[in-house]
A and B are shown apart, each in its own frame.
Chain A
Amino acid sequence: MPKIVLHAPNGALFTVDAQIGASVMETAVKHGVPGIVAECGGALSCATCHIYVAEAYIDLTGRADDFEDEMLDDTVADRKPNSRLSCQIRMTAALDGLEADIAPEQ
């Protein structure tokens, strides 16, 4: 199982196992990682699953599509070049070790 390493806003570090095909959001929420609110459960409707992907993984996760891109324009925490909505990143074997900071506010 690929692993995901998440830095919660309070500084705590979470390493969780992900199913291939599950989203980063889904994996985090199911394991009770705090900070990812995910009000819409991954429907790309709420922008409350905002993370900052570590440099090394940006290319591997692919780019935000147009809709996600527009949602990211209005997130509560600042948008950065490595901002993504974590419900839109599906885990693959290649993403093993994916590291990201959870946005301080959702």
Chain B
Amino acid sequence: MHGSPTASAGTLIVGAGQAGLQLAVSLRAGGYSAPITLAGAETDRPYQRPPLSKSFLAGTIDEDNLALRAPGFYTDNDIDVVAASRIVTLNPDSSGASALTNGGRVIRFERLALTTGSRPRRLTVPGADLFGVCYLRSIDDAGRLRELLNAAHSVVVIGGGFIGLEAAAAARRRGLHVTVVESSGRLLRRVVAPPISEFYRQAHLKRGVRFRMGCGVTAVHGDDDGNVTTVELSDGTRLAADVVIVGIGVEPRIELARQLGLDCARGIIVDDQARTSNPSIVAAGDCTVQPHPRHPETLIGLESVQNAVDQAKVAAATILGVSRPPAVVPWFWSDQSDLKLQIAGLSTGYDEFVVRGDPATESFSVLYYRQSRLIAVDAVNQPHDFMAVKRALALGASIPATVAGDTRSALKVLMGAPDPAERLTVGVRP
């Protein structure tokens, strides 16, 4: 009943990252007995990316700590990891579908899953290819950056998003001069409300990071050997830099999906069963866009471990032909210096927010509302608020905006009665 007969060519998962691994794990856990091939362009087996801009960059953990599974796990579970192999061509012909790697190897498959992730957006100004201009996506990127930081004095971080700010904090912890250049008027603009943006600017300032807000980068300059020396800003000033960290967002990897003629927007379009426009092909993780759980007419891209893992579980259920696991509340975290941000829910489209606690204490939260319904929380060093809102959202309960700011009462006490119709998630236990 599970999976396919042993003669089947099985499932090919393209992309051996967070989502790809989870898909393989969930297929086996669900009794799938046909072959599973997990093909990845990187030499490393699936590993965690979040520490790359945090503890790994700071130097407190090493590569060994990053692996998501021990090598023996793959043999024990009969998952064939084909590392250092980029899939360049897919031939989905139903009578003998196959994939071709950059090394010329042919992999046969019956079912196909795309978990190709995303790549950092490149800086396109003159000088962007100078030595010392770095991106942060892979172990290789992070290892190289870590080495450069060992010998650096001044670091310019381009982009005040999560990765940029985390990297800035890690570089600052090493005692380096760090300047963050952000072209918009505030940090983390796409994802948080103004009080959180302003809090992070103040908190990083206090820890010695400098900011150039509202400034674009127009060029990167180097010496005769091709090493970066300065970064030129739109107002004409030049910042000294021996390392430049570029964190200006990511682009989903959709080339293969395009090759197959699958519908794509910013990412590969999937439905709530992780099916692409060709329902026999699934996709999960950073490479996808999906219907917003509350406003399905809007497609959203979620770049988080939680999404990669949960969407992969859904994709596995689709391949297995069983009903999908219940939806869960989207969540995310970011560690910057000693500040832990935990986000639950999706705040986009909020029309009201409540600040709970005093940002000056570096422990507070912001609750987001849309038409008076609680939709999300950003909690800074405030795990109780994070956990309470996550729970409320799972249950379909709200916490009235009128009382949410009252820190004398715990949020879990202020939570209203669950409203089944408002459940962001179905079937999640309280």
Using CB atoms and an 8 Å cutoff, list the residues of chain A in contact with chain B. 19, 22, 26, 29-32, 39-41, 43-47, 67, 70-71, 73-74, 76, 105
Residues of A within 8 A of B76 (CB): 32
Using CB atoms and an 8 Å cutoff, list the residues of chain B in contact with chain A. 25, 48, 50-51, 54, 64-65, 67-70, 72-73, 76-77, 305-306, 309, 331, 333, 335, 340, 342, 381, 383-384, 387-388, 391, 412, 429
Question: Do the beta carbons of B306 and A39 come within 8 Å of each other?
Answer: yes
Q: Which residue of A lies closest to B71 (CB)?
A: A30
A102 CB, nearest partner CB in chain B, Å: 16
Query: In the complex the two chains form, what is the Cα distance from A41 to B54 in whole Å?
Result: 13
Q: Which residue of A lies closest to B309 (CB)?
A: A39
Residues of A within 8 A of B331 (CB): 46
Q: Which residue of B lies closest to A30 (CB)?
A: B70
- What are 18 A-B pairs at a CB distance below 8 A? A30-B67, A30-B68, A31-B72, A31-B73, A32-B69, A32-B77, A39-B305, A41-B48, A41-B305, A43-B51, A45-B333, A47-B383, A47-B387, A71-B383, A73-B384, A74-B387, A74-B388, A74-B391
Residues of A within 8 A of B77 (CB): 32
B171 CB, nearest partner CB in chain A, Å: 19
Question: Do the beta carbons of B342 and A45 come within 8 Å of each other?
Answer: yes
Residues of B within 8 A of A70 (CB): 383-384
Query: In the complex the two chains form, what is the Cα distance from A45 to B48 in whole Å?
Result: 15
Q: Which residue of B lies closest to A21 (CB)?
A: B65
Residues of B within 8 A of A29 (CB): 68-69
Query: In the complex the two chains form, what is the Cα distance from A45 to B64 in whole Å?
Result: 21
Residues of B within 8 A of A19 (CB): 64
Query: In the complex the two chains form, what is the Cα distance from A44 to B335 in whole Å?
Result: 10
Residues of B within 8 A of A30 (CB): 67-70, 73
A50 CB, nearest partner CB in chain B, Å: 12
Residues of A within 8 A of B65 (CB): 22, 26
Residues of B within 8 A of A46 (CB): 331, 333
Residues of B within 8 A of A31 (CB): 70, 72-73
Residues of A within 8 A of B429 (CB): 76, 105
Question: Do the beta carbons of A32 and B73 come within 8 Å of each other?
Answer: yes
Question: Do the beta carbons of B387 and A41 come within 8 Å of each other?
Answer: no
Q: Give 16 A-B pairs besides A41-B48, A41-B68 with Cβ atoms closer than 8 angstroms.
A: A22-B65, A29-B69, A30-B73, A31-B70, A32-B25, A32-B76, A40-B50, A40-B305, A44-B340, A46-B333, A47-B387, A70-B384, A74-B383, A74-B387, A74-B391, A105-B429
Residues of A within 8 A of B388 (CB): 74
B308 CB, nearest partner CB in chain A, Å: 10
Residues of A within 8 A of B51 (CB): 41, 43
B113 CB, nearest partner CB in chain A, Å: 20
Query: In the complex the two chains form, what is the Cα distance from A22 to B306 in whole Å?
Result: 23
Question: Do the beta carbons of B412 and A74 come within 8 Å of each other?
Answer: yes
Q: Which residue of B lies closest to A68 (CB)?
A: B383
Question: Do the beta carbons of A43 and B333 come within 8 Å of each other?
Answer: yes
